[in-house]
Chain A
Amino acid sequence: GENVEQHPSTLSVQEGDSAVIKCTYSDSASNYFPWYKQELGKRPQLIIDIRSNVGEKKDQRIAVTLNKTAKHFSLHITETQPEDSAVYFCAAIYSGAGSYQLTFGKGTKLSVIP
């Protein structure tokens, strides 16, 4: 199965600074990499995703990059705001023999200090 490592586990940044969260995956067959944001007591919600045929994707202040050779992908948040404070999870979907195992990293708790 797939194994996803995520770093750092906690991250504190000043409001307006950038935040970067990095993940690595183990199975080269994985082809879909979503990022989820989970606010305290709420459900995880998708914020951005990238497929293995794309190297970078941006959506306003959020961007994700993928390096298939190195099997790692990163989330970049620019001009951070207090409402960005949450736990962020990276994930990878391994597709094999008709199964789709959506495996998550352990999460990064982002704190944006006003």
Chain B
Amino acid sequence: DSGVTQTPKHLITATGQRVTLRCSPRSGDLSVYWYQQSLDQGLQFLIQYYNGEERAKGNILERFSAQQFPDLHSELNLSSLELGDSALYFCASSLQGNTEAFFGQGTRLTVV
């Protein structure tokens, strides 16, 4: 167990819908990363937060947004979902930005 908790583990939804993925980082970790992993693909960096502030942005679609709350948990919001958004979404946390990142178990999103 990495100490990073992601909910839900599985999510099935229809095209056009909106979903929210939740991540609770390890106790004490200030940095949270979000990644998208499509089937047999690598880890696509979406966004990073540090102590509540957005610090780095990757190839995140405009339909996607995220935030980190004062208690350091983070949410990734995906809207106007398309079939191609089906993927495994990972959250990772680290103490600071350039220390070991621990991954959650991921949320498997299926858009039908």
Q: Is the CB of A98 within 8 A of B55?
A: yes
Instruction: Classify the interface of chain A: helix, strand, loop or mixed.
Output: strand
Stretch of B21-29, B41-49, B71-79 that contacts chain A: B41-49
CA distance A99 to B94 in the complex (A): 13
CA distance A101 to B57 in the complex (A): 8
CA distance A102 to B100 in the complex (A): 10
Chain A contact residue count (CB 8 A cutoff): 24
The closest CB in chain B to the CB of A45 belongs to B103
For A106, the chain B residues whose CB sits under 8 A away are 41-42
Q: Is the CB of B43 within 8 A of A34?
A: no
The closest CB in chain A to the CB of B6 belongs to A43
Is B83 close to A, CB under 8 A? no
Q: Is the CB of B103 within 8 A of A43?
A: yes
CA distance A17 to B48 in the complex (A): 38
Q: Which of B61-112 contact A (CB under 8 A)?
A: 90, 92, 94, 96-106
